[in-house]
A and B are shown apart, each in its own frame.
Chain A
């Protein structure tokens, strides 16, 4: 029974990890789907959100309370970044968005280093330090809340894209930009909003992560890297794909970390990505 409870614990851990990745990845794939931009600075948005959460915590506002504020801040930040910068990138050759967002990555990392130093910093007196027992499995409360929070937010985003008018407009632009323009949709406004929402998603993820992780200037890189693989695995532009990819990657990472070793935990992830793309060059659920 020991092995079973270990397996279940890993399963639960993998799903919960996957859910957080899902929140990050869904933002990334939304941005890509609507405007064909791979936001390589996505990890840095996560990092900024984490620092913002830390700042609020130092002012007495805990991560869970601060989450909506941080998400809102990232939403606005994303919209501004789109209007001031990404919009111009879209006017150039396709490589421009790749290099532009990379430049943003470097700039934000440098700024964080200059402003906050390279030290690892954590939320003081973090809430939810206990462990919960679900049947035979012991899970940390923080991990559970992170996963649950991510699930709720991802569901909210999903509902937004499926059922609201703005969400429909986004899907229209994602499918056919010119046709959407012909139907009177303001593509620039939709783009800006999509970018902002993508940032807000990863911002919310950042606030959640501060429940159990420290922040430092390059913290975003690791998460973002996995998020890119998730999105590519699921198929660029597909929200369902991002969810599926995230769960797969979460499980692979957790099982890999346990059965192989913590330093090798990403190996199954990368191998899985290469294997999938070999057979389906557009990812699991991507469009050709």
Chain B
């Protein structure tokens, strides 16, 4: 499914992922590859199943079918704290803050995974805070941060665990355009460090400048996998988002233009 030739097995490989909630088939068969060192976007229209897919990959729920392999190892259904220990960090769509901990304490908690001595963990946390740009707010309580800073803190906390793969769940939601730009900037720096990123996003424009690879899901199935430029022009993608094949859209737009003039 990947269109770039990979010499090594992809870092994250999802095949035939399926999830059923009672009689509702949320995911039919989702395939996804995330190459090491890349930023892959997982997008799709509302109700497509991206959150469900993300949930199954991130360990929040157990898929009813298919496999999720991280570094060749099956992680579907594994308890989340074990997945984290394997090197997968994640953020949450609804920010999960440690409300009564300071920023530094929260990131230190993450750092303790690979730096069991508190002193080392604090030092590592300070590095991470400097990297994400929260160093000057290190003594603020989690509950006292703006939403953008809370999201930044979540990323910092995940980064402190020295992950190989970072899973971001609609991290851009609720941010102003300026905050989005800052977030993209941060993601570039994360990539530069060699960390692989898989992002679920609802809004496509956000991913265009940074995603090297896009996977589009609609109605629980993967309908496209390729570059961002190709995605926009792919008729299946357009149909999924706009609900009709491209030619019909063009006719509709032209008709509207005639009517107005």
User: Within 8 Å by CB, do A and B touch in the complex?
Assistant: no
